[in-house]
Each structure stands twice: as C-alpha cells, then as structure tokens.
C-alpha cells in the first residue's frame, strides 16, 4: 500500500463526521473556557451556567452573523447547484467532453474548467466539476477507453482549493459588507473599533495584486500538474455506466398553473432580477472599490440567473429540490460554530487566543502563521463561513495589534481555509454521490493537490 493510500485509510479512521466534530469542538471550547477564564470569586457551578448562557447567545445570534450569515451561505450553495443542473451548463459540459481523449488531457481540462467556475461561485463549481467528472467517466465507459477516474474526480474537487480566493469567498465578501468587521470584533477585549475600517473592499482582497497573481498561478500550474500526473496514471476499472435520460411527455396545463410552466414568464422574472441587481451595482458610488459585491448582491444575482437558465419555474423548483440536500451541513453546523464563538467572546477566551497569536507572531510572520492556523482549523471546521465566525475575530484583533494589513490577514485565512479542503472530504460528499467514487479513491490525488496549492499560496504570501 502506497503512502497516500495509507494516509487516506488512516484519515478515515481518525475523524468522525463533521457534525460530530462540531459537537466535540463545542465541548472542548467549553472546557478550555472553564479552565482558563473562570474568575476566582465565582463558583464553578455558577460559571458553568454563565458559559451555557454565552453559548446560547451565540447559537441563536440573530445579528448579521449567526443565522443570517448561515442562510446567506446556504442560499449561495443551493443557487449555484441549481444553475449547475441547468440546460446551458449541460451544453457547456458536453462541449468540454469533445477534447477529452485520454487521462492526461482530461485531467487538465477538468481542473482548468473547475477552477474557473469555482472562482465565480463555490457551489456552482462543486456541482459543475462533479457532473463534468461523471460525464467524462460515462464517455470513456461508452468508448471502452482506459481512464484514471479517481484522478478526474480529484480534478473536479479542486474548486474547493480556490473558491475562497474567488468572488464567493466567505471571509472577503463578509469583510466587504458595511460594518461587518466592527460587528465581528465588537466584544473582543482591547480592540480599537474606531481604528477599524468600516469595510474592506474586494478590490483590496479578491482583486488585489497578490490574489490575482496567486489565481493566475493556480490556473496555469495546477492543471499542468494534473496533466503530468495523468501521464503517469493507471487505469481505473470501475467507470460509471451511462445514464439514459428518460423524456417526460409534456402535459397540458390550465389556469394559473400555466405560469409555472411558462418559459416567457421565467425569462421575464429572471431578467428583471438581473437587470435590477446590475442597476443597483451601477448607481453605487465608488464602483471601482466593488462595494456592491457582498453576499446579498451575489445571491440576488444567482437567483435571477438560476430562474433565467431553467426553462420555467417548475424546472427551477425541481432543480432546487435536488440541490437543497447539499446545504444540510451548513444548516446543522453553522449554529454550533456561532455557539463556539459566543462561548469564546463571552468568556474572554478569544482575547487570550488573540494575545497568544500576537506573542508568537511578528508583522512579517503573522500572515504565514495565520495561513497555517487557518488550515488546521478548517480540518475541524470545514466551512469558510463558520471559520470566519470563529477565527475571524482573532485574526482581525491580532492584525490590528501587530499593524498588519487587514486585507492580507483576511486572504491568509482564506488561503489556509481552502487549502485543507483537499484533505478534509466534507465538501466532497456531493461530488462522491454524483461520481460514484469513494473518499479513499480521490484522497491520494487531493493530497498531491494540497502540496502543490500550498506552495503557490505560501509563495504569494511571502512575495506581497
């Protein structure tokens, strides 16, 4: 058994489901807060009740974090998934299949296309890559050609290694929201709220020179790396059988039901939503700062696009039904992450962690340290949004104390978060379901992507 195969098997044995990990993290935070933050003049029993109150306050946080943020991220994933299931995307995928003639060039094409789509929307990229990989497997099965199907599955998952540096990245788009940074750290000890910017525009994060350079390197180097691996790969025997589409006979619809099946009505509604979204973007001052690119604008645009690309409202809702299950993890885990944040803030543990960050870091080493710590946290909190809620306040408070650029600190967190998705298969679940692969099949290759991506991200953080 190779090293990567042993790694995949060991990883699977050591880690429970992400929801169980979220529960264990809650218990660990509770214990740490009790040990390190209990005032000497407070009884243990009374302080346990205080901690429970802090946790509950965070759990049902109804501000612009908490449940509000969870719903934003759920909608972003679901709408991206709905678009991926549309006819236009299917046509794009079919066009990409034509040059796929062997494992090497197929790995290049799938990697490059998935990265491009994922930089636009992480949910769309995830499902797009999964469907593309499945279609590739079906094509090679039909043509009885050899294919390293797990490598193609890994190539289709690469979008989760780049998404946080794209326009749907949780940390950058939340930081671009008016007042988000101040809301995030308002209860962190010793933070100077007046010195914090009201927002960090995406021109400073996603569209910064550093991130554009890193993105170009990813688009060039990672597909070539997968091409190189494809040249040296083996045949995988368990290719998926082609699915034969069943044509459903059109029915006659009467009365108001006609609206549900009307293409014209769907195009009008989707078109109006998109026109209004771009009108709002155009009339905002300081357009070049891209202040309009926030979660609500992105979701509003995705909603219009999702309605527009499906033939009618009925088809849109059918796709929504198929997509909604992919958001289960966000629905169940985000409240627990905000409960953890409530515990950390209410007990003062977050201030102690911030002090530790500052003690171990210098202005030069802080971005690198943030990158590695974010990668570690993501193994246990496999959600960019959840991680921003838990680690974001520590990163921002530490950056302020050390005098480090807020945009660079945010992108360091983003890079670390997205990188370890390659060894954390939580978000691969939809892909595995669509492709029929197992986590142990793709993990040896995503581990190699982890190493290649890590080198690119560290280079970007070191040079800028």
Give the span between the Cα atoms of 107 and 152, in whole angstroms. Answer: 6
Q: CA angle, 439 as apex, 433 and 441 as ends, to 5°?
A: 105
Q: With CA atoms as reference, report the closest residue to 129 among 146, 142, 112.
A: 112
Give the per-residue pLDDT at 411: 96
Give the span between the Cα atoms of 430 and 155, in whole angstroms. Answer: 14
Give the per-residue pLDDT at 245: 41
**What does the block give as tokens for 344?**
């950390």
How many residues belong to the chain? 464
Write 21-24 long-range contacts (CB < 8 A, 24+).
Answer: 21/380, 21/381, 22/333, 22/336, 22/337, 22/381, 23/336
Give the span between the Cα atoms of 285 and 436, in whole angstroms. Answer: 48
Q: How far, CA to CA in Å, does 167 sit from each of 187, 212, 305, 417, 435?
A: 28, 12, 16, 15, 26
Model pTM? 0.75
Give the span between the Cα atoms of 205 and 394, in whole angstroms. Answer: 18
DSSP E strand stretches across 280-329? none
214 in Cβ contact with 107 (< 8 Å)? no
Can you tell me which residue has the tokens 């990883």?
Answer: 11
Give the per-residue pLDDT at 12: 58
Q: Which stretches of the chain drop beneath a pLDDT of 70?
A: 1-18, 61-66, 234-237, 241-255, 282-295, 326, 351, 354, 358, 380-382, 425-426
Give the per-residue pLDDT at 220: 97
Helix (H) / strand (E) element for 151: namely helix 149-157
């Amino acid at each position: 058994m190779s090293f990567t195969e042993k790694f995949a098997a060991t990883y699977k044995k050591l880690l429970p489901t992400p929801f169980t990990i979220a529960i264990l993290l809650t218990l660990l935070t509770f214990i740490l807060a009790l040990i390190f933050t209990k005032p000497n003049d407070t009884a243990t029993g009374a302080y346990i009740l205080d901690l429970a109150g802090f946790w509950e306050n965070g759990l049902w946080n109804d501000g612009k974090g908490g449940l509000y943020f969870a719903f934003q991220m759920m909608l972003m994933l679901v709408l991206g998934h709905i678009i991926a299931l549309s006819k236009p995307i299917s046509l794009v995928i079919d066009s990409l299949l034509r040059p796929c003639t062997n494992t090497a060039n197929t790995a290049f094409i799938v990697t490059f296309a998935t990265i491009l789509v994922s930089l636009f929307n992480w949910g769309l990229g995830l499902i797009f890559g999964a469907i593309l990989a499945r279609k590739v497997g079906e094509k090679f099965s039909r043509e009885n050609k050899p294919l390293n199907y797990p490598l193609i599955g890994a190539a289709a998952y690469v979008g989760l290694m780049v998404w946080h540096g794209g326009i749907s990245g949780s940390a950058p788009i939340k930081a671009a929201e008016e007042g988000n940074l101040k809301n995030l750290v308002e209860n962190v000890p010793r933070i100077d709220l007046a010195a914090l910017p009201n927002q960090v525009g995406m021109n400073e994060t996603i569209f910064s020179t550093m991130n554009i350079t890193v993105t170009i390197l990813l688009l060039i180097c990672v597909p070539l790396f997968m091409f190189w691996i494809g040249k040296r790969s083996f045949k995988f025997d368990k290719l998926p059988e082609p699915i034969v589409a069943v044509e459903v006979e059109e029915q006659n619809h009467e009365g108001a039901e006609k609206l549900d099946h009307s293409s014209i009505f769907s195009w009008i509604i989707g078109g109006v939503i998109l026109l209004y979204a771009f009108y709002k973007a155009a009339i905002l001052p300081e357009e070049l700062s891209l202040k309009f690119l926030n979660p609500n604008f992105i979701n509003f645009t995705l909603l219009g696009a999702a309605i527009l690309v499906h033939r009618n409202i009925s088809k849109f809702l059918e796709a929504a039904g198929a997509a909604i299950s992919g958001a289960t993890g966000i629905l169940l885990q985000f409240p627990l992450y905000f409960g953890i944040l409530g515990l950390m803030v209410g007990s003062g543990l977050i201030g102690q962690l911030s002090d530790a960050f500052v003690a171990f870091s210098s202005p030069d080493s802080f971005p690198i340290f943030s990158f590695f710590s974010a990668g570690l946290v993501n193994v246990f909190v496999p959600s960019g949004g959840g991680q921003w809620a838990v680690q974001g306040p520590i990163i921002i408070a530490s950056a302020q104390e050390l005098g480090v650029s807020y945009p660079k600190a945010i992108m360091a967190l983003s890079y670390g978060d997205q990188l370890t998705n390659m060894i954390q298969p939580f978000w691969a679940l939809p892909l595995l379901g669509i492709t029929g692969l197992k986590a142990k099949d793709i993990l040896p290759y995503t581990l190699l992507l982890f190493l290649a991506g890590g080198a690119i991200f560290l280079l970007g953080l070191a040079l800028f």
